[in-house]
Amino acid sequence: DAGVTQSPTHLIKTRGQQVTLRCSPKSGHDTVSWYQQALGQGPQFIFQYYEEEERQRGNFPDRFSGHQFPNYSSELNVNALLLGDSALYLCASEGSTYEQYFGPGTRLTVT
Amino acid sequence: DQQVKQNSPSLSVQEGRISILNCDYTNSMFDYFLWYKKYPAEGPTFLISISSIKDKNEDGRFTVFLNKSAKHLSLHIVPSQPGDSAVYFCAAFAQGGSEKLVFGKGTKLTVNP
């Protein structure tokens, strides 16, 4: 049973560029959430997708957008990258319980 | 304004002894609490959870205690093993809240052989 998978593992981008991160949820899970984890901090909630719609959103600017596909996989898009966007981006999927299961993350470095 | 606080950045214990990790929260609307463990280069792994209607939940070596009046929860690991060395995150959420999970900053646990 595959867990949550994310791609790519690492990414280096230049300030002002755009980036797309991808996530496949755990088998049987239909809800995907995205988190940003800065160095030395806990993960911070960006948004959650369910039935291809954004269901909840944290305190992140509109530069952060997402999408969920019919197979429940999801993308996180960040436009006009800033140096402060450098972080570990985590995807988590959720089934019928409240527990969320995380992928290994994508390490984004903005130079 | 941090709603979930883990005031100890690090904790060191001897193998076989008890590890106690603490977490405080400020939002009285939180009704579900979770602990995650994170190894370097991996995503957080779900460990144990507790609903606000309970004050204790146990799973093997791991027990979580919740004191709602003090807005405090703790994770006990007995006995501690070197493989438990990781960063532990406390997380909370409120049904109907605007954020799914609110995390603390984590406590790095080191279990010495």
Asked whether the predicted pLDDT for residue A98 surpasses 90, the reply is no
DSSP-derived secondary structure for chain B: --SEE---SEEEEETTS-EEEEEEE--TT--EEEEEEE-TTS--EEEEEEETT-SEEEETTEEEEEETTTTEEEEEESS--GGG-EEEEEEEE-TT-SSS-EE---EEEEEE-
- pLDDT in the model for residue A1: 62
CB–CB of A100 and B105 under 8 A?
no
Which residues in chain A are contacts of B36 at CB distance < 8 A?
102
CB–CB of B43 and A90 under 8 A?
yes
Who among A4, A42, A90 is closest to B106 (CB)? A42
Per DSSP, the three-state class of A65 is strand
When pLDDT is averaged across residues B20-31 and rounded to a whole number, the result is: 94
Asked whether the predicted pLDDT for residue A47 surpasses 90, the reply is yes
Which residues in chain B are contacts of A98 at CB distance < 8 A?
32, 34, 49, 93
Asked whether the predicted pLDDT for residue B13 surpasses 80, the reply is yes
Closest CA to A11 of A97, A96, A85: A85
Task: Tell which B residues from 41 to 70 touch A, by Cβ distance under 8 Å.
Answer: 41-46, 49
- pLDDT in the model for residue A96: 67
Confidence grade of residue B93 (pLDDT, cut at 50, 70, 90): confident
Please, is B105 exposed, middle or buried when counting C-beta atoms within 10 Å of its C-beta (0-12, 13-18, 19+)? Answer: middle
- pLDDT in the model for residue A99: 79
Which of B2, B99, B102, B108 to substitute to test the interface with A, most A CBs within 10 Å? B99
- pLDDT in the model for residue B97: 67
**Chain segment A55-77, per-residue pLDDT in tens:** 889 999 999 999 999 999 999 99
Confidence grade of residue B26 (pLDDT, cut at 50, 70, 90): very high
